[in-house]
Structure 1
Amino acid sequence: MAEVVLNGISKSYGDDVALDNVTMTVPDGSFVVLLGPTGAGKTTTLRMVSGLDKPDAGNVMIGGRDTAGLTPAQRDVTMVFQQYSLYPHLTVRQNLEFPLKSPILQTPQAEINRKVGEVAEVLQISHKLDNKATALSGGEMQRVSIGRALVRQPSVYLMDEPLSSLDAKLRSDLRVELKNIQANSGATLLYVTHDQIEAMTMATHVGVLDNGKLVQFGTPREIYEDPVSVYAASRLGQPRINVLPAGVFGGAPYNAQSIGLRPEHIIQGEGEDSMVTRVERLGDQTRLHLVFKDHDIITVTDAHTNLNGGDIVKIRPNNPYYFDATGARVA
């Protein structure tokens, strides 16, 4: 596997800036998730690494080698696209075998059979191996697409929202399997998503992108607990962070424009009155929707709470974040 280094990568399509001086190191053997909304620059970053597009400025290093002028095949990367791409005239088995039969790899047939069998079992498609790709459901097609990447052992795996078309249970199962595969193989994996749960559960590192800029890079816990801006804070956490006017509880720093409160940063039972507007019972926890001085707040409470809509709860902040008028974190 290999370390991937992006040095000052910029890319524009006409007047649209896709990436703006992005510098980032994907450590060897890491699972890095690029997180952000549509248009943040996530997929463009993958295309820079894969060689499908060329940067306007900057360079990409893979395994210590400058990739300028190298084709995707020469970079030894494999990519899973958001929209599955299979050979429709081939069976599932033949689609999975295809990368291994490359003249470059020259994989023995016995090894091909072993790898295909292992990957098919992980992806729960063993019973579909002799089906044509056109006979599969959309979710099954995407699993085959993921499988074609997993049967290889490239320097870097690139994945562009590969689980987005799957149902909730399978998506949850494959999150665990992908993380296990990456951890056990020591693979370097760069993964794109807008799903914060995928980022929190799978990533060793998260890169938060906003309009082509890398806002913050670190472990999921670092970004969750020490965000550099209100934007970065809002990317991770479920329920989302509550953002209110800075002085709503009093005592805000002079240069603060807003206060950010994670649900667990709200102490209940003391402070000022708020009113419960809705109670969401989720089994292991209960979410309280509150109104405090005309501002909506979501917090969590005991799973067996007796609170109901219309009840009054006293609240106060604990270890809040403060942000200035630009959204940047202030002391």
Structure 2
Amino acid sequence: MAEVVLENVTKSFGGTVALDNVSLTIPDGSFVVLLGPTGAGKTTTLRMVSGLDVPDSGEVHIGGRLMKGLSPAERNVAMVFQQYSLYPHLTVRQNLEFPLKSPLLNTPRDLIDRTVREVAEVLQIGHKLDNKATALSGGEMQRVSIGRALVRNPQIFLMDEPLSSLDAKLRADLRIELKRIQAKLGATLLYVTHDQIEAMTMATHVGVLNEGKLVQFGSPREVYEQPVSVYAATRLGQPRINVLPADIFAGAPSGAKSIGLRPEHIVQGEGEEALVKRVEHLGDQTRLHLNLKRHDLVTVTDAHTPLKGGETIRIQPSRPLYFDAAGMRLA
């Protein structure tokens, strides 16, 4: 595995700037997740690293080596896409060994067999090796697709929303599996998603992108607790952070235009009076949908709260985040 460095990378498609002077270091052995909406530049970053696209300016280094002019094969990277990209007429074993049969690798037969067995064991699909790909479930097909990348032992794994087409339970199961595999192999992994839960549960580092710019880069906890802007604050957290006028509570610092409150950072019992509009019981917790001075907000409370819609409570902020008129965080 290897450290990957992007230095001042810019890429445009026609009049659209997909990446705008992005500098990013993906540490060796890290699990980096790029977050942002459609058009933020996530997949373009992946393509810059893979060599599928070439930067207009800037440089990409993998393992300390400049990648300029090198093809994807020469970069020794492995990609996993949203779609399974398997050969349906081949068995699981044949799909897994296919990358190792490349003339460029010239892999000995015994090493191919051993590698396929080891990867199948890691992915817990050893009992499916002789099944046709068309006989697998969606989750099993994506495991095989991931396995096709794992057999390569590349410098970096590049994954473009590989779980987004799966149902909720499979996504949850494969999130755990993927993190386990990455940790076991010590792999360097760059993962693109718009799903904040994937970022919070799997990443060692999160890169928040917006309109081609890298807004913030840090651990999931750092981005969650110390966002640099309103935009970064809204990328992580479920329910989303409440963003309200700064003067809705007393004590806002000079220059504050808005206050950001995570749902768990709203304290009940004292402060401003708010109307309970709706109560959502979710088993392990309850969400309260409130209205405060004509502004809607969401907080969390005890799972067995007796509160009902139409009642009033008093609330006050705890650990508030303040932002200026441009949406940037105030110290």
- The TM-score range, normalised by the shorter chain, is over 0.9
Report the Cα distance in structure 2 between the residues aligned to 1:108 and 1:241, rounded to whole angstroms.
54
8 Å Cα contact 2:257-2:323 kept in structure 1:
yes
Q: Is the 8 A contact 1:142 1:165 kept in 2?
A: no
Contact 1:123 1:174 in 2 (8 A): no
CA distance in structure 1 between the aligned counterparts of 2:114 and 2:165, rounded to whole angstroms: 27
SS in 2 for 1:7: strand
Secondary structure of the equivalent of 2:130? Answer: coil
Aligned to 2:41: 41
Aligned 1:294-305 pairs, distance under 5 A: 294-305=294-305
Identity %: 77
Q: Which amino acid aligns with 1:252?
A: A
Deviation at 1:144, TM superposition (A): 2.1
What is aligned with 1:60? 60
Q: Which residue of 2 aligns with 1:272?
A: 272
Partner of 1:312: 312
1:279-311, Cα deviation, whole Å (9 max, x unpaired): 122222111111111111111111221111112
Does the 8 A contact of 1:276 with 1:308 survive in 2? yes
Partner of 2:219 in structure 1?
Answer: 219
Q: Bigger shift: 187-196 or 273-282?
A: 273-282
Separation (CA, whole Å) in 2 of partners of 1:31 and 1:174: 15
**Residue 152 of structure 1: SS of its match in structure 2?**
coil
How far, CA to CA, are the matches of 1:307 and 1:122 in structure 2? 48
> 2:245 aligns to what?
245
Q: Summarize the alignment of residues 1-331 of structure 1 with structure 2, pairs less than 5 Å apart.
A: 1-331=1-331
Alignment RMSD: 1.6
Q: Partner amino acid for 1:79?
A: M
Q: Conserved in 1, the CA contact under 8 Å of 2:80 and 2:159?
A: yes
Please tell me whether the aligned partners of residues 32 and 206 of structure 1 are also in contact (alpha carbons under 8 angstroms): yes
CA contact (8 A) 2:139 2:170 kept: no
Inter-partner Cα distance in structure 2 for 1:40 and 1:134: 34
Q: Deviations over 1:1-42 (max 9, x none)?
A: 100000000000001110000000000111000011111000
Q: Give 1:324's aligned amino acid.
A: D
TM-score normalised by structure 1 residue count: 0.95
The answer to whether the Cα contact below 8 Å between 2:6 and 2:25 also exists between their aligned partners in 1 is yes
Secondary structure of 1:45's counterpart equals: helix
Q: Determine if contact 1:7/1:60 at 8 Å carries over to the other structure.
A: yes
CA drift at 1:112: 2.8
CA distance in structure 1 between the aligned counterparts of 2:38 and 2:92, rounded to whole angstroms: 31
Q: How far is 1:252 from its partner?
A: 1.7
| Residue ranges of structure 2 left out of the alignment (5+ in a row) | none
Alignment partner of 1:94: what SS?
Answer: helix
Given that 1:27 and 1:188 are in contact with CA atoms closer than 8 Å, whether structure 2 keeps it comes out as: yes
SS in 1 for 2:21: strand
Letter in 2 for 1:7: E
* TM-score, normalization by structure 2: 0.95
